[in-house]
Structure 1
Amino acid sequence: MNDANGGYFIGWGTLSLINAGLAQAKGRSGLAWFLWSLLLGPVATFLIVVLDPPKARV
């Protein structure tokens, strides 16, 4: 693996960690969104920001 690919993977992993924090701040599962972010990347960030927080359970 050369330096360009290593930077890409580090950036993608960092984005996944940031998404996990954003998801937890909105009341969602950080682990689930971390895993989704590994697959979807920036699309997951967009979804976290756009989707409404989950409704409170009674």
Structure 2
Amino acid sequence: MDNGYVVGWGTLALINAGLAQGKNRSGLMWFLLSLLLGPIATFILVVLDKLAEEGSGRDD
């Protein structure tokens, strides 16, 4: 397997983890999911809405 491919896939997983945390989701779970799904996980994260923060007092 080409090293560039592995580095790119791992970088995408790290980016997805940061994106997930920015949307109040589990960074670790999305990192692991991204290792399996790659760009599909990125698309899912972009489409998902941001979760309300715990203790924010919002009842939706």
What's the TM-score bracket when you normalise by the shorter of the two chains?
A: 0.7 to 0.9
Which of 6, 13, 19 matches 1:9?
6
Q: Percent identity?
A: 67
Does the CA contact (< 8 Å) of 2:24 and 2:52 recur in 1? no
Structure 1 unmatched ranges of 5 or more: none
Runs of 4+ in 1 over 6 A off after TM superposition: none
1:18, CA displacement in angstroms? Answer: 0.3
Check if 1:39 corresponds to 2:36: yes
1:54, CA displacement in angstroms? Answer: 2.5
Higher helix share: 1
Give the structure-1-normalised TM-score: 0.85
